[in-house]
Amino acid sequence: MDKKKDSKEPKDVEMEQKKEEEVKQEKFDPYLEIRKQLILLEKAVEMKDTKTCGVVARNFKRIRAEFSLKDVGLVYDHYLPDLSAKINLPKYDPDIVKFDVEDKLHLNKERAGVLTKNFEAKCFLHILLIMKLIDERKIKMAKEFVDYARAQIDLENSRTLDHFFSKIYYYSGFIYEKLGELNNFVPQFLDAYRAACHRNDEQTQATLINYILRSYINDQLYIQAANFIEICSLPENVSPNQQARNLYYEAKIQAVQMKYPEAQAHVIQAIRKASEYTGKAFRVQAMKLRIIVTLLMGEIPDRSLFSDQEMKSDLYAYFIIVQKVREGNIEEFMKVINEHEDTFKKNDNYNLLIRLRHNVIKFGLRKINASYSRISLADITTKLGLESVKETESIVTKAIRDKVINAVINREDRELKTNEVADVYTSNLPTTQLDKRIRFCMEIYNDSVKALEFPKKETKKIDFNLEDDEEIQDEQELVESLLEEFDDM
């Protein structure tokens, strides 16, 4: 047994050494990644490949995580020295940190100047700087720079810039909202939306539509928001995140307008389209709206909605609300509303929750109707926590008229008498529920078909026609390998 163990040990050591070497080789270099992306952008612009430009415009996550603001300053000094001289960015102290800039950035200054001749490359670097200014919480400086970037893009018109335009306008809205000036920025958003429509820039249209709706909702301008939705529709070929935001805003507006079935359908779609790995705050807000709308429709949300460990603490107050609605006790319900009032107002859901008072009474009446064949109105008043028997009588009368409960009121004895419950399968309820589920499944199927991407018949070949220089050959191989990776995505 000992001999076998000894014979395996050298192999294990070799395997560990290989793994360590692989990890070292795969170590991420953000400066090299920027060079890769800019080279790829150069070729994509030459080929007018909007898809590749879109992929590059979304490829900031790892660079953003690895970079500091000083790193961005170093990149600007190398790639955009004229602009860097005008911006007061923190820099590395050359006396403390000594390194060769061209070696660190894997590119000489002449080639860097060629790569940044394209406006797409400048936009890439501008977006990176805006991101890092936001990360460092230098919001005022970010506002100044995003205004500069937006003034520059307004002079350009190219389809390869669409995703970069969208990103810059997205961060413009984010920064202005952080400063509490989003509503002042809406007229500029509307002008930018008209311009985006004229040049058929769908990505920017989607971003601007969502920020305009967000501004209207924040200012409680629901009529204006509804009118805007009627006039402007979200383009189909945009990212799922933009679609999810738009569906959530539509659901919010429809919930306020008491269009609960439409609001429920839209908020469920928004949750389904939202990313599972990012945007927790959005998913929590959408889930809260879904719970409220479900209650307003006279239904009890499924308990599984509250079982997600990631959102459990955020949904606790809403879980208590659901419990009190199910119990049908109006006093306990109002007590919970008052106890968590600040939370509900912060979430902008307080006014919708106040509407649930009638639903609490309806649930209580259903519970009483199922439990008692005959009960006095005075006992109903006590059980529901209502103020008077007269109020109870009017509420019960309305509930019978709306077919919430199947009962009659005996005016002489002042009591509620339950009618015999008919077989539910003799009614239209099963058909209605089946139709609802079929429609939901068909919507999922149609959305899936729209999202399908089919492989192109001919693989793109790049004929660079460049000189036989070692650096240029490396760039050719790099671009071709990157394009192959993006074709697989």
Question: For residue 10, is pLDDT > 60?
Answer: no
What does the block give as tokens for 467? 């000189």
Q: Which residues contact 336 (CB under 8 A, 6 or more apart)?
A: 317, 320, 321, 324
Compute the distance between CA of residue 120 and CA of residue 38 in angstroms, rounded to an integer: 9
Q: pLDDT at position 461, please?
A: 47
DSSP string, 203-248: HHHHHHHHHHHHHHHHTT-HHHHHHHHHH----SSS-HHHHHHHHH
Measured CA to CA, the distance from residue 64 to residue 298 in angstroms comes to: 46
Average pLDDT of the residues of the chain = 83
Confidence of residue 399 (pLDDT cuts 50, 70, 90): confident
3-state secondary structure 152-178: HHCCCCCHHHHHHHHHHHHHHHHHHHH
pLDDT at 462 over 80: no
Residue 267 pLDDT greater than 70, yes or no: yes
385: left (phi over 0), alpha (psi -120 to 50) or beta: left
Place of tokens 């429609």: 439
In percent, the amount of the chain with pLDDT more than 70 equals 85
Instruction: Decide: 162 and 52 in contact? Cβ < 8 Å.
Output: no
Query: Cα–Cα distance between 81 and 101 in angstroms, integer?
Result: 13
Q: What is the DSSP string of 334-388?
A: HHHHHHTHHHHHHTT-HHHHHTHHHHHHHHHHHHHHHH-SEEEHHHHHHHHT-S-
Q: How many CA atoms lie within 13 A of 408 on its CB side?
A: 6
Q: For 279, left (φ over 0), alpha (ψ -120 to 50), or beta?
A: left
pLDDT tens-place string over residues 167-214: 999 999 999 999 999 988 899 999 999 999 998 889 999 999 999 999
Task: Report pTM.
Answer: 0.79
